[in-house]
Amino acid sequence: MQRGAEVARFKVVVTDQVFPDTAVEQAAFAELGWSFDVADGSYDDIVARAHDADALLNTYVAVTAELMDRLPRLQVVARYGIGVDNVDLAAATDRGVVVTNVPDYCVDEVATHALALILDAMRRVTDGDRLVRAGGWGLSGLRPIRRASDWTVGLVGFGRIARRLAQFLAPLGCTILVHDPYVVDAGPDVESIELDGLLRRSDLVSLHVPATDATRHLIGGRELELMRPDAVLVNTSRGALVDTGALVDALRCGRIRAAAIDVLETEPPPAGLLDGLETLLVTPHMAYYSEQAIAESQQKATSQIVKVLTGKAPDYQVNKSFALSEGEVPAP
């Protein structure tokens, strides 16, 4: 079936519902007279509900070649989020399935959360709270604490979120280093540098790159050895970027001072992983969240499906090498 064909009714299925409701999606598809359903996130239920679906709305479920082969009418997979590491892009392209994401829905939220983790770690906020609750008082065990204008912050990746974070940090007077091989000109207020040099020089390293085969364990034992012993690692991007075992070892032996992360390779973390590890601050994969961001994600992901199935160019097509058939609308 070609996109944009005159069809009275399309079917859209949500693979895994993680939002408070799907009112945005239901309203949009009901207005068009399309069928809409929500699966429970299991493979069998997705196949049962989407075997005749034209589109999937997806959050965390892996959209594999095997799954797509069970959905012969599938034309588009729209991810609610930014990353597409849970979608087999090559398989989608081979099968003529458009994949879209929403790359700009939670930029402020993630940048703000990264800033919160940075300030907490560098100003020792949680450490101070823990000290007081244990009956202590004063600065014993909290020193050294340096003023923000003396910090060197290394940003690994310099896309939308990292650039927003750099804007937040600029008024504090931090020196900002950037490593991103895909950015030719990072701008006048930051210094572009190779990764090893950034790790050696930074008081704080914040990760802002997608999870791919090339970036898996981007920060492992060797990279942690390069970091300063008083340095802090922050990760609000993808858990797979950091070798969890190497990070835990580095923290337990004092190789780096602390880490503050919102994402892990395994979520939630395995039992016992955090026991006694007070130099690791963890939040539960919440950096993306605000009420406004979720509503924006739902609206934009939904709009991509509507555009593709009605023959219009999607705003956020990921597999841009997609070979479109005659009569279909190419991606911009």
Reply yes or no on whether the pLDDT at 76 is more than 50. yes
Selecting among 66, 194, 225, 267, the annotated active-site residue is 267
Q: Is 246 found in the same domain as 216? A: yes
Is residue 332 in some structural domain?
no
Q: How far apart are CA 180 and CA 178, in angstroms?
A: 6
Specify if 187 maps to a domain.
yes
Structure token pair of residue 236? 């609000």
- 18 and 55 inside one domain: yes
Kindly state the average pLDDT of the residues 128-144: 95
Whether residue 331 is contained in a domain is answered as no
Instruction: Name the average pLDDT for the chain.
Output: 93
| Whether residues 277 and 257 fall in one domain | yes
DSSP code per residue over 175-222: EEEEE-TT-S---TTSEE--HHHHHHH-SEEEE-----TTTTTSB-HH
Q: With H, G, I as helix, E, B as strand and everything else as coil, classify residue 132.
A: helix
Residue 187: per-residue pLDDT: 87
**163, 238, 257, 265: the active-site residue:** 238
Q: Is 6 a catalytic residue?
A: no
pTM of the model: 0.87
In a domain, residue 318? The reply is: no
The stretch 220-239 carries a mean pLDDT of 98
pLDDT tens for each residue of 251-271: 999 999 999 999 999 999 998
pLDDT score, position 54 = 98
Q: Can you give the pLDDT at residue 9?
A: 87
Domain that residue 72 falls in = 11-105+290-309
In this structure, the answer to whether residues 137 and 227 fall within a common structural domain is: yes
**Any domain includes 314:** no
Both 78 and 137 in one domain: the answer is: no
What percent of the chain has a predicted confidence (pLDDT) above 70? 94
pLDDT at 331: 31
Q: Are residues 116 and 262 in the same domain?
A: yes
Q: Is-catalytic flag, 285? A: yes
Query: By three-state DSSP, how is residue 92 classified?
Result: helix
How many domains, in total, are found in the chain?
2
| pLDDT value at residue 322 | 53
Residues 96 and 118 in one domain: no
Instruction: Name the token pair of 16.
Output: 């895994």
- Does a structural domain hold residue 320? no
Q: How confident is the model at residue 129 (pLDDT cuts 50, 70, 90)?
A: very high
- Evaluate whether residue 236 is within a structural domain: yes
User: In this structure, is residue 325 part of a structural domain?
Assistant: no
Domain of residue 120, CATH code: 3.40.50.720
| From 4-8, 14-18, 26-30, 88-92, the region with the lowest mean pLDDT | 4-8
Please write the tens of the pLDDT for every residue from 15-50.
Answer: 999 888 999 999 999 999 999 999 999 999 999 999
In this structure, the answer to whether residues 153 and 205 fall within a common structural domain is yes
Active site residue 216: no
Residue 191's pLDDT band (boundaries 50, 70, 90)?
very high
Same domain, 231 and 268: yes
21 plus 158 within the same structural domain: no
Regarding whether 146 and 59 lie in a shared domain, the answer is: no
Mean per-residue pLDDT for 108-130? Answer: 97
Q: Note the pLDDT of residue 324.
A: 38
* Whole-number pLDDT of residue 6: 45
- Beta-sheet strands, E only, within 80-157: 98-100, 152-156
pLDDT score recorded for residue 328: 40
- DSSP letters, 150-168, are G-EEEEE--SHHHHHHHHH
Q: Are residues 148 and 247 in the same domain?
A: yes
Whole-number pLDDT of residue 48: 98
